[in-house]
C-alpha cells in the first residue's frame, strides 16, 4: 500500500483500505476514495481511500460527494468524446487545486491517447 502513495502512483500521503476507512469517523478524519486498484500478480481489485487533512477543500462533505460522482464517471469512461466534459467537471469542482483532483485530471489526459482509452476499464493497475 505504501508504494501507492508515491508521486507517479496515486500521489497521496496516507492511503487506507476500505476496511480501515469504514472504521474512521469522517467528521473528524475525512477521507475520499482515491481509486479502484489492481496490483500485478493479484487477482483481487480493491478500493483505496485517501485520509485527507480537514483543511483541504476536498474534506467538505459536499466536495467529497461531488468527487465520488466524478471518480465514478472517470472509472466508467469509455468514449473519448466524454473526456472534455469530464475534465471541465473536475476543473469546476470547488477544490480544483487539490492533489487528488490534479491526479484525476492527469488520468483523463492519459486517456486522450486512443490506445490508453481502449485498455481502460476503470481500474488503476500497478506492479508491486
SS (H, E, C) the chain: CHHHHCCCCCCCCCEEEHHHHHHCCCCCCCEEEEEEEEECCCCCCEEEEEECCCCCHHHCHHHHHHHHHHHHHHHHCCCHHHHHHHHHHHHHCCCCCCHHHHHHHHHHHHHCCHHHHHHCCCCEEECC
pTM higher than 0.75: yes
Per-residue pLDDT of the chain (128 residues; tens, 9 = 90+): 778 888 778 888 899 999 999 999 988 999 999 999 998 877 889 999 999 999 888 888 899 999 999 999 999 999 999 999 999 999 998 887 888 999 999 999 999 999 999 999 999 988 76
pLDDT at 37: 93
Amino acid at each position: 500500500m505504501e508504494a501507492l502513495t508515491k508521486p507517479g502512483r496515486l500521489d497521496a500521503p496516507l492511503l487506507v483500505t476500505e476496511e480501515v476507512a469504514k472504521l474512521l469517523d469522517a467528521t473528524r478524519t475525512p477521507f475520499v476514495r482515491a481509486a479502484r486498484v489492481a496490483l500485478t500478480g493479484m487477482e483481487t481489485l480493491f478500493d483505496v481511500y485517501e485520509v485527507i487533512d480537514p483543511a483541504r477543500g476536498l474534506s467538505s462533505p459536499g466536495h467529497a460527494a461531488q468527487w465520488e460522482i466524478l471518480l465514478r464517471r472517470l472509472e466508467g469512461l469509455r468514449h473519448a468524446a466524454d473526456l472534455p466534459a469530464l475534465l471541465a467537471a473536475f476543473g469546476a469542482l470547488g477544490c480544483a487545486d487539490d492533489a487528488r483532483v490534479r491526479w484525476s485530471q492527469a488520468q483523463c489526459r492519459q486517456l486522450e491517447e486512443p490506445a490508453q482509452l481502449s485498455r481502460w476499464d476503470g481500474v488503476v493497475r500497478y506492479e508491486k
